[in-house]
Amino acid sequence: GRLDDRRDAGRAAVADPRPARPRAEPFRLGTLAILRQVEWARREGLQHLYLGYWIEGHAKMDYKRRFQPLEAFDGRRWRRFAG
């Protein structure tokens, strides 16, 4: 993945859709991208990391629920979310 920090308003992570190795890897690309972002956020001393858009019940986005604690934006503020 790569980090796009060209905007002052925020940062977004974009994963490269091409697999680096066969699917026998212990982590899939999305999980690996998030783990790398977590490492980066810790090095930068950030308290929060936005994992990107998530749709409940969408199987390809379900891996994001494994990262705890989660917060979800309810339209007014961020709240703890059990996933």
| Max Cα–Cα distance, the chain, nearest Å | 42
Confidence at residue 14, expressed as pLDDT on a 0 to 100 scale: 47
Tens of pLDDT, residue by residue over 17-76, are 444 554 544 568 889 999 999 999 999 999 888 888 888 888 888 888 888 888 888 889
Is pTM beyond 0.75? Reply is no
Q: Which residue has the tokens 């980090």?
A: 3
Instruction: Say how many C-beta atoms besides its own lie within 10 A of residue 37's C-beta.
Output: 21
Distance CA 23, CA 37 (A): 21
For the chain, the distance separating the N- and C-terminal CA atoms, rounded to the nearest angstrom, is 24
